Structure formats: structure tokens, C-alpha cells
Structure 1
Amino acid sequence: MGYVVIKCGGSIMDGIHPSFYENIVMMMEENHVKPVIVHGGGPEISKMLDQLKIETRFIDGMRVTTNEVLDVVEMVLSGTMNKTIVRNLMTCGGRSIGLSGVDGMLLEAGPIHQENQLGFVGRVHSVNTKIIERLLNEKLIPVISPVATDKHGGRWNVNADLAAAAIAKALQAPLCLVTNVPGILKNGKVLSNISHLEVQQLLDDGTITGGMIPKVKAALDCLHEGIREVVILDGTEENALKRFIDKEKIGTSINLELTYAK
């Protein structure tokens, strides 16, 4: 039974189909795969920052993170968002453990850019896979907030797509990015299959913008490290995860060789 890393975006949380949680519990119960959930929480973070009158801005889809912003990021991601997912799995009969990258030094990180343009935004350097493996061996689903740490006790706000990619690489597991759009779009149409070279072209010509940028960069990172496939799919669709696990055609599949359907 292999692993699968499922990244759930903060933008999808309110509209996600109830079958999302049911599908994850089913994966564990029927021994299809061992699911690992990584989640974001961007909209909720922005809402809390607005309430606290703390300014925030984005560069290439990533939130510039001051120490003040980081306090809110950790509170929302490792608190509210994380426990909401744990509770939702519980109501479907699942057993899960909510934790952040800080716990057990699960995710060790450092600055994503040397010039520090993004503040306390980090990149994962290593993943403590033993923690994940032990939880899954006990039939507990890991639900991971992407707040990471370093050897000096520092905190880093890691983009959830990139955190999920780092975990997928460490486990050598397929990566599924669950969002609120049906996949990568070109001229209003979903690209069902696309190669890494074509993704780079769409980045270069500006077709891929905003929050989709870190998603496809995470996908490219995984592919170059030996992960066979990354899928971006719409979590508002019923049984979207089940269809992905059953290898049905859904969303956008990104891989090293395939060419998209025009």
C-alpha cells in the first residue's frame, strides 16, 4: 500500500464536497493508499489580518510574511484550519492527528530567497518521514499545517503547495493538489494532460498566474525529483479524490512526457 499526498487549498475549504473527507477515510479503511493531508488557509489568514488591521501583500502568489503576519499565519493554519479538517474527518469515521511542521521537527526549513524579499517565507530542506510513517501505521491520518521550523527554533511560513511537494518527494508519493478550479485552463478549457515543458511555456507566456503559479512550480519540482504524476483537481466535484485514486480522467495531470489535449 503506497502513499498519496493530498494538498487541500484554503480557498476550497468552505466549498469542498463532503465526499472529500469520505474518500480519504475510505482510502485508509480499504487499504487503497495511505493518505497524507497538507492544507493551506490563505483566505482565513487574510480575513484575520484584516480584522487585526495588519497589512499584507503577495509576490508571485506568495504572501510576504513579517513576524507580525507570521503570528497570525501560525494561529490560523496550525489552529483553526488544522482542527477543522481533523473534526471533519472524525465525523466521517476517520481517525486523524493534526500537527504542524514544527511538531517533532516534521518540516525543517530555511529562507526561500537569500534576498529575504518575502520575509519569513521558507522552503523545506528536510522532512521527518518517520513521524508520518508511524502515524499511518497506527491507522491515523496525518493532517499537516505548513508552518515549519529550523534548528534554531525559528518559524517559517511555507507555501502549502511547496510543503506538500516536499513531503511527496520525501515519501516518493503521487501528489494531488485539490483546489476550486477544474485544473489548468487555456483559453477557457481544461488541459487534461500536460508535460513539464508545456507548463513552463504557460508560465513564461503569462497564461498561468496568481495562486496557480506555486501549484505548478510544486508540480515541476516533484517531477524533477522522480514523482511520476501530479494532478490538480476540483474539490467541489463529488468523489473527485476517489476518481483520482481509481485512475479516472479528472482535472489536469502533469507529467514529464505527455502533451495536453488541444
Structure 2
Amino acid sequence: MEKIIVIKCGGSMIDDLSDKFFMDIKQMQENGFKPIIVHGGGPAINRLLENLQIQSEFINGLRKTTPEVMEVVEMVLSGSITNKLVRSMHTYGISAIGMTGSDSGLIQAEAKDFENLGLVGEVTTINRELLLKLLSMNLIPVISPIAISENSNEYYNVNADSAAAAIAVAMSAEKILFVTDVPGILKDQQVIETVSQNEVHSLIEEGVITGGMIPKVLAALKSLEGGMNRVMIVSGKSPLYKKGQFIGTTILKEQKVVSFG
């Protein structure tokens, strides 16, 4: 069975990914893993929308996507960011292929709430066979979360966390990694190695998980609800894979006692 790993890179991390990040990706491949990368691009989209003086608003954490906004979203996600990641991979001798979720129906979606959110999509289908074929060629798919409708008449902006989770579930991935700017969930300056869903909620209530880490762990929990058994919070600035082990915080469905390392 393929050891598939889905790696979700937030848009805010793209410019800060370390050399070690890409070296670790190559090491994963050499150790038999099949990585799939899904990326966002919020900050870059915001900058271009501002430069073009196009208004944009968020509703419940999702960007309302008009046709005008959608054009910018596609330009940034499927253009500059995907290309940047693929070029970085090639620099480290990694064979990667940039894709949009609309390529060959890779990600199919339907409108999540067209009246209020416009062209924001909710994933309905993943083209599993296409990804398996690319992985069999030892290629790493680098995917921008632009989806296509079942009848191919419409394109949708899909939340990158949701797209990564849907791909991980469809591919029966071993785990999904959410790449952040910290080495995991921290308590008293130590990384929590393993934690359960229930414990995550407790850590938020206790104020251990705060600020920008909250949406990251909530996205991880959504992946568990979607069918994954384990997800990880890892760093894009420090080693994420060492001596055959992934480094960060693992969040499990099962109840576990918090441990530190």
C-alpha cells in the first residue's frame, strides 16, 4: 500500500519555507512516502486585490468570491504560488508538477452558499486515479485549490484546508501535515507530541492554544471529522522529518494522554 502524505502549506508560509523543508520532502520520497502538496495563498491574494482596488470580504472565515475576485484568486494560486513551489522543488532535485484542482476534474465541487459566498466551493469528488498515476511516476503534485463543477460550467475557490482534507481522505493518506511557523502545539515552551481531539478543545479553553494557532488546529480537527485518523501540526521553518520520524504535534481521534518531548 502506498504511504501517501498530504502536506498543506498555508499562503503565509510560502515565502518562509526553509531549505530543510524541501530537503525533508526529498528524504520522505527516498524513504518510500508519496507526498501531495496543497497550498493556499491568502496574503498574496489580499495584496493583489488591494493593488487592483477590488473589494473583498470574509464571511465566517471564507472569502466571498465574486467573478472578479475569482479571477485574481486563480491568477495568484494557480500562477505565482504554484510555480514558486514547483521551482523550489526542482532546485532540490525533486520532480514536481503544478496543478489546479480543475485540471482533469482533479477536484470537483459545488457552491457552498452561492447567495452569500458566491463562487466558494465545497468539495464533492477527488480524481483519485489521476493522483495515483502521477504518484506512480514519482511526481509530487503541487495543487492549488481551484475546483470545477461536475458539468464543467463553473470554477470554485475552495478553502485550502478543506481541499487538503478531502484529498487526504480520498487517497487514504497515512496522515496530513499542516505546515505552520511553529514546531507544533506548545505548552510551557515544549512541543506536545500527541493529543486527542477532546484535549485540543481543552487546551483552547485553557489558553494554551491561542491566536493564529487556533484556526490551524480547528482545520486539523475538521480533517479528523472528514475521515482521517491522525493529523499533524508541523513547522515549515525547522526540520519536519528526521530519522524516519515526523516532527511536530500529532492529533488523534482516539483519546490519548498528553505527552511531552
TM-score (norm 1): 0.87
Which residue number in structure 1 is paired with residue 48 of structure 2? 48
2:166, 2:226 within 8 Å by CA — same for their partners in 1? no
Aligned to 1:93: 93
Which residues in structure 2 correspond to 1:115-126 (within 5 Å)?
A: 116-126=115-125
Q: Which residue of 2 aligns with 1:136?
A: 135
Match of 1:260 in 2: 258
What amino acid sits opposite 1:57 in the alignment?
A: E
> Does the 8 A contact of 1:61 with 1:211 survive in 2?
no
8 Å contact kept, 1:3–1:171:
yes
Give the whole-Å Cα distance in 1 for the aligned partners of 2:191 and 2:52.
38
* Distance apart, 1:231 and its partner CA: 0.4
2:236 partner amino acid: G
Question: For residues 74-119 of structure 1, what are the alpha-carbon distances to aligned partners after superposition, in whole Å with 9 as ceiling and x for unaligned?
Answer: 110001100111111111111111111100010011123x474333
> Residue 156 of structure 1 aligns to which amino acid in structure 2?
Y
Give the 3-state SS of the residue equivalent to 1:231 in structure 2. Answer: strand
Change (3 A) 1:204 1:41: same
- For residues 29-53 of structure 1, the C-alpha deviation after alignment (integer angstroms, 9 at most, x for no partner) is x242001011111111111111111
Q: Which amino acid aligns with 2:256?
A: L
Aligned position for 1:168: 168
Query: How far did residue 189 of structure 1 move?
Result: 6.4
Partner of 1:64: 64
Aligned-pair identity in percent equals 45
- Spell out, residue by residue over 1:103-143, the C-alpha distance to the aligned partner (whole angstroms, 9 max, x if none): 0010011123x474333222211100111110111111111
Partner of 2:108: 108
Q: Distance in 2 between matches of 1:220 and 1:34?
A: 23
Match of 2:73, SS state, is helix
- Asked whether the 8 Å contact 1:162–1:214 carries over to 2, the reply is no
Task: Name the structure where strand makes up a greater proportion of residues.
Answer: 2
Alignment match, 1:76: 76
SS of 2:25's equivalent?
helix
Q: CA RMSD in A?
A: 2.5
1:7-63 deviations in whole A, cap 9, x for unaligned?
1111111111112112212322x2420010111111111111111111223344332
Alignment match, 1:218 = 219
* Equivalence for 1:193: 194
Tell me how far apart the structure 2 counterparts of residues 17 and 104 of structure 1 sit (CA, whole Å). 32
CA 44–50 in structure 1, closer or farther in 2 if over 3 Å, else same: same
Q: Does 1:246 align with 2:244?
A: yes
Which 5+ residue runs of structure 1 have no aligned equivalent?
none
> For the Cα contact (< 8 Å) 2:3–2:34, is it kept in 1?
yes
CA contact (8 A) 1:101 1:148 kept: yes
Change over 3 Å in CA distance of 1:61–1:198 after alignment to 2: farther
SS of 1:144's partner is strand
Number of matched pairs: 256
* Residues 207 and 63 of structure 1, relative CA distance in 2, 3 Å threshold: farther
Secondary structure in 2 matching 1:192: strand
Q: Are residue 18 (structure 1) and residue 19 (structure 2) matched? A: yes
Could you say if the C-alpha distance between residues 64 and 252 of structure 1 is closer, same or farther in structure 2, counting changes exceeding 3 Å?
A: farther
TM-score by length of 2: 0.87
Is the deviation greater in 7-16 or in 213-222? 213-222
Cα deviation for residue 164 of structure 1 reads 0.5
CA distance in structure 1 between the aligned counterparts of 2:35 and 2:146, rounded to whole angstroms: 20
Offset of residue 185 of structure 1:
5.1
In structure 2, how many angstroms separate the alpha carbons of the residues matched to 1:208 and 1:58?
A: 23
Which runs of 5 or more structure 2 residues have no equivalent in the other structure? none
What is residue 34 of structure 2 aligned with on the other side? 34
SS at match of 2:54: coil
